[in-house]
Amino acid sequence: MFRTRVHRNLSWISTNSSRTTTTHGQHYQYLQCSKLPTLYFQRSLPRLPIPLLENSCRRFLEATKPLLSPAEQAQTQQTVEQFRQGIGMELHAKLKSHDAENKHTSYISQPWFDMYLADRAPLPLNYNPLLVMKSDARPEYQQQVVRATNLIISSLRFWRSLQADLLEPEVYHMNAKKSDTSSYRRWMKVAPKAFATYASYAFKAFPLDMSQYNRLFGTSRIPRIGKDELVQSPDAKHILVMRRGHMYAVNVLDSSGYIESPSVILGRLRAVLKLDADREAASVPLGVLTSGQRDEWAKTRQHFVSNTKNADLLEREVDAALFCVCLDGEEDGVFNENQQEPLLKHLLAGKAQNRWFDKSISLLISADGTTAINFEHSWGDGVAVLRYFNELYKDTLKQPFVSTETVHTPAEGDFSNVRPINFEIDDATKSAVSEAYNKNASIVDNLDMNVLKYPHINKPTCKQYGLSPDSIIQLSFQLAYRQAYSGYVGSYESCSTSAFRHGRTETMRPCTNATRDFCEAILQPERSKPSAGELRAMIDNCSKVHGQLTKEAAMGQGFDRHLFALRHTAQKEGIPIPDLYETEAYKRINNNIISTSTLGSDALLAGSFGPVVKNGFGIGYSIQNDFAGAIVTTYKNQADGKVFIDSLESAFDKICAVIQQSSSSKK
């Protein structure tokens, strides 16, 4: 019924190229019209706490124990104690003093921005992550240019809602049925703004920081020698569309800032395809430059913009674009459920000819309509991107504005609204593009990707047996590595601290004494192996420790960011780096061989990122209603992803057997 009604309305809108009141209406222009202003809770968010120095030292020692020999532990303990009683106290006092003078932000915010922007490593694989969206099962909405149009419209509806303060505030509801209600919003509306966050806590609803949201659109990372910068053009009216390496500026907002009608946006995208069909693929695909080492790209850009025409086009049409849409061709691959790796690898990094990795957000749309987001990471974290990703998916499913039946408004020849970006390219730039292409191709060719879908562990199974899904997955990673490589290594799980003003992330260290004890126990010969009941008790202890560490991290009580900020303070003050940072323990725990990240979302088909160290494993994972999944990236001849995946499947089997046996023995 709903879909029929939408089609009737859309056929009317799309056959009328002139401006109508329908497209100016709130229903079309805004994704949400929240009763609470978007930034309602921002002022009252608590500040990110700086942990006590003794607590950070204690947590560091505890986290490094599984990685060290007894002799190394003793040496580390001595060095940490000297740090705690000496230079650590001085640095901690300076950090506290600086934090007290900057109450508008958090102690980690600026150092974290600096860390990202100063790193000279290429963005693809090292920083830019990938989120792949589930497809639309309805063929009339999955076709590439149709899906692109609907995604663009939904993106703009999200953006306009955010700008107008009409996007729902980001709130984590412990029990959505009780708190994500109109009654909750009425109570919040009358709560004094200065205390609104604390009033929300009474409903077990936790407002999250939204300071990163304004950089979702119109933001670009500009390469500079030594340290990049972020530039923003929030009033732009166009997007950047890429096709076979060619670049087009496409207006999607009118002169008053209203979203153009669906038929107009569809017509402009089709005009891009028509223009592109009449050309050869770009012989010098400039987007490849954004895949390069940052100082090399900065030098190339400096030369490139010495041409005033290039400088104007790059700044006005590319850097200022609201976001980037990359329309890939058949030659770039389509999604295959039974062989996902080629397309996922292409979307994560690929040949870089049809990408502009410096944009805050890029929508990648394959020839079959498979859609992914590849985002530049310095400006923000998963919370803001995942909110956008989820809203985009829901909106395009619930009310797509065009279909394959929509009559578009022709835009061929309308070069004021569909502008091919034609730069003047000299031999130096051609050479730089060729060099960047070869370097990126070498890195990407060296990347391996392995996928595992394990059906016997899933959300219902975990609920049935009273297990923490995340803890079970992380324990499986530790067991998989121990089985395959006979040891324990630095392991990383990202945890958001967005419950605090300008919070970013904290590291949760999933390799613990509890996980080590379980791994050693379950790998004992049968005659000396503990019983299923005893092993299940150890699993429960792993979950308890994991849960406590996760809670501490989310509450800003981890140790990684605190120690990072103390070292940053020493560098800023010209103080020699303390011995703690030269210990084997510090080096080993920060050599993140196992780097993991999960995003819980019903919209997510897959998520991936590159290894953070050359001999490491980049593990994007999720636990769904019917399986647990992991996508593991490695570099060839550095680490073997296939060996790890096979060991992970074996680890899942072992843990499942323990759970089932222990449950059977209780009956």
Catalytically active residues are 377
Q: How far is CA 338 from CA 132, 136, 152, 271, 343, in A?
A: 16, 18, 29, 35, 11
Residues listed for the chain: 667
Cα distance between residue 550 and residue 539, in whole Å: 16
The dihedral over CA atoms of 44, 46, 48, 54, expressed in degrees to the nearest 10, equals 160
- Judge whether 477 and 508 are in contact, CB under 8 Å: no
Q: How far is CA 478 from CA 263, 483, 487, 637, in A?
A: 52, 9, 9, 21
Cα distance between residue 570 and residue 92, in whole Å: 10
Three-class SS state of 104: coil
Q: How far is CA 579 from CA 69, 71, 90, 108, 584, in A?
A: 19, 17, 14, 22, 10
- Judge whether 67 and 488 are in contact, CB under 8 Å: yes
Nearest to 47 by CA among 5, 113, 103, 118: 103
Cα distance between residue 88 and residue 80, in whole Å: 9
Cα distance between residue 175 and residue 450, in whole Å: 36
Three-class SS state of 299: helix
Instruction: Give backbone dihedrals phi and psi of 491, rounded to 5 degrees, phi first.
Output: -130, 145
Cα distance between residue 531 and residue 135, in whole Å: 45
Residue type, 139: P
Instruction: Give backbone dihedrals phi and psi of 239, rounded to 5 degrees, phi first.
Output: -120, 160
Cα distance between residue 90 and residue 345, in whole Å: 47
Cα distance between residue 442 and residue 258, in whole Å: 44
Cα distance between residue 201 and residue 126, in whole Å: 37
User: In the beta sheet, which residues pair with residue 240?
Assistant: 249, 324
Both tokens of 309, joined, read: 């025409």
Radius of gyration of the chain (CA): 26
Both tokens of 32, joined, read: 């949400």
Q: Give the pairing type, strands 594-598 and 617-623.
A: parallel
